[in-house]
Structure 1
Amino acid sequence: MLISKLYEIFISKITSLLFFLIKLGPVPRHLAIIMDGNRRWARKKGLAPSEGHPWGSKTLNNALRWCYDSGIQQLTLFAFSIENYKRPEEERRKLFALTREKLEEMLDSRDIIQRYRIRVTLVGDLSLLPEDLQHLMHSVMKETAKNEGPRLNICFSYTARDEICTALVHMLDDLLEQKLSLTDVNASRLDEYISHGQKVSKDCLAPDIILRTSGETRLSDFLLWQSSYSLLYFSTRMWPDFGILDFVRLLFWYQHHWKEYQKLHRRQGR
């Protein structure tokens, strides 16, 4: 017991030192994560595919602390794609049960969300979800709406194509109702429709980095509109195995590419 306690203290001190060193350089304002590999991780362990999600949830709890302790202002997670509705019903049922559990934890004053004063936004077609899950999601957004700490955007029942199509439909409605003229239609205006359609305020930044775990090297219909100038980082780690050293490596990689990234933004006038 004593050895375990000393080990925890040692790891805590090392982590604090690593974050101190990271903060000496530039830190991304907005990190987006495709949390991939839960099911493959479970299969390698001889477990049912759905058993990987609770382990991935533990990694997420750690990642939230790492992000906000290192100074990252916004975190966006790809939690559930519209394409995932094609998965077996039993797997979806277990995943929704885990989601309910996590949302209820967010409403607990002792949870990391409340301790860090994090503002939570759920992004996606929530109408496709069970009603009780929709209610919980809206409760979390309402409960955290006035929090002035970091931002957490959770893409659930989401694809980028659906997000863009929904924004275009709303723009077309306004054109037909003459609330908008053809001369007003441009990329900047569509950007506003995408943001407002998801009830994400204008202070939501484009992601500096999109991280995908598991070794896959594609975006899988995630933040396609917002990621034009994002750095892409692909880790071979399965999400449940993604640890503090992997996270630190990611931030040092960002700092190594930071000057190049800033030059790109200046050329684009961003």
Structure 2
Amino acid sequence: MQKNRGITDNLLGGLYCYLRKCLFGVLSVGPVPSHIAFIMDGNRRYAKKRNLAEGGGHRAGFAALLSILRYCYELGVKYVSVYAFSIDNFRRKPKDVQYLMELMREKIDELLQQESIINEYGVRLLFIGKLQLLTEPVRVAVEKAMRVTAHNNQRVLIICIAYTSTDEIARAVQESCKDKSDEIQASKVANVSNGAIPRTSLGLNNNGIDLHFQDSCKDYLSATKDCSTVLEGVEVAREKDVFAHNAKKHGNYSEAEITTCNELVEITEESKYKEDEIPSIKLVDIEKNIYMAVAPDPDILIRTSGEARLSNFLLWQTSACPLYSPAALWPEIGLRHLVWAVLNFQRHHFYLEKKKKQF
């Protein structure tokens, strides 16, 4: 009896797999999403609904994740992103957080097993977020997973852990500011190296102007630096004339020395003007430093449990992304939900592509 049941299960499983591939073949006639993102909502409600033990909902949710990953990869989706753990989740009870951390480490190890879906489809694992907030064992497991799968290039699984979109955007802005600061400093060093202010030609090598005259130039530069930036044209020229008159009167400096000092003033003023033109941070700078720069923007965002909120997930990347919210809890998600989301995406594909070009 048991043997017959096993044979029947194998036959049904094979038939289901064949029908699923036929279905995906039909869907592949239309545009296939390159990137699908999931908010895995409803694990705890599922456990409460089924009267499961502590962590039962999350374990069922991990099984659902493996199934949905298989469906996505069979369909031809290259990038899959999942919202695994928010920074806000650290506010939960320490006992609950610790349990989830241990469960996460356990499941990461399972993903790296030889027979896992990761090795079957050649999936590269990427963990993004504020990873320093993770416990040491989880952080070690995360780093190992990314290192071991770094050579895989067929599919990509992005796990957002200790992540919020606002933190991602704030970090991207900080990194962009740092990049611009480094760019400005490098430009200044390059200008000095290239002789933008040639010391020898201005007589600052102590050969053409004595030290007392150099100090006078410095005093003049210091004085003009404190002046308002409105001193342009005639007013700046007048200041130079005053300096030249005083230099001749008190220092008996030659015309060549005065001309040299005025050249120094002009170059310094020009340099100051250029320094004020600080390069602005552009959209491309932010996008370059976003965590999700490793993948294209998602084509579909699926959140289970019927919720239509983004909950601080991929706010930057979903401006033209359709949101699909099935009523099923995450452990209940199945093939039909994915198929419906893809069909809806294909139906509005032309409109969505048009929208993306407007941003």
TM-score normalised over the length of structure 1: 0.91
Structure 2: 5+ residue stretches without partners: 187-276
Q: Corresponding residue for 2:16?
A: 11
Q: Corresponding residue for 1:235?
A: 326
Structure 1 residue 66: Cα displacement: 0.5
Q: Does 1:128 align with 2:133?
A: yes
Structure 1: 5+ residue stretches without partners: none
1:91, 1:48 → 2: CA distance?
A: 13
Structure 1 residue 267: Cα displacement: 3.8
Gap change, CA 1:52 and 1:36, over 3 Å in 2: same
1:53, 1:179 → 2: CA distance?
A: 49
SS of the equivalent of 1:188 reads helix
Q: How does 1:167-186 map to 2 (within 5 A)?
A: 167-177=172-182, 178=184, 182-186=278-282
Contact 1:40–1:49 (CA under 8 A) maintained in structure 2: no
1:94, 1:248 → 2: CA distance?
A: 34
Deviates more, 1:218-227 or 1:229-238: 229-238
1:231, 1:10 → 2: CA distance?
A: 32
Q: How does 1:130-169 map to 2 (within 5 A)?
A: 130-169=135-174
1:26, 1:188 → 2: CA distance?
A: 27
Deviates more, 1:118-127 or 1:97-106: 97-106
| Higher percent of residues as helix | 2
Q: Does 1:193 align with 2:289?
A: yes
Q: Does 1:20 align with 2:25?
A: yes
Q: 1:220 aligns with which of 303, 306, 311?
A: 311
Provide the alpha-carbon RMSD of the alignment.
1.8
Structure 1 residue 191: Cα displacement: 1.0
Gap change, CA 1:98 and 1:179, over 3 Å in 2: farther
Structure 1 residue 152: Cα displacement: 1.0
Q: How does 1:45-56 map to 2 (within 5 A)?
A: 45-48=50-53, 50-56=55-61
Q: How does 1:51-90 map to 2 (within 5 A)?
A: 51-90=56-95
Q: State the identity %.
A: 35
Measured against aligned partners, the alpha-carbon deviations of 1:16-55 in whole angstroms (never above 9, x if no partner) come to 1111111111111110110101111111112356321000
Structure 1 residue 225: Cα displacement: 1.1
Contact 2:84–2:161 (CA under 8 A) maintained in structure 1: yes
Deviates more, 1:46-55 or 1:150-159: 46-55
TM-score normalised over the length of structure 2: 0.69
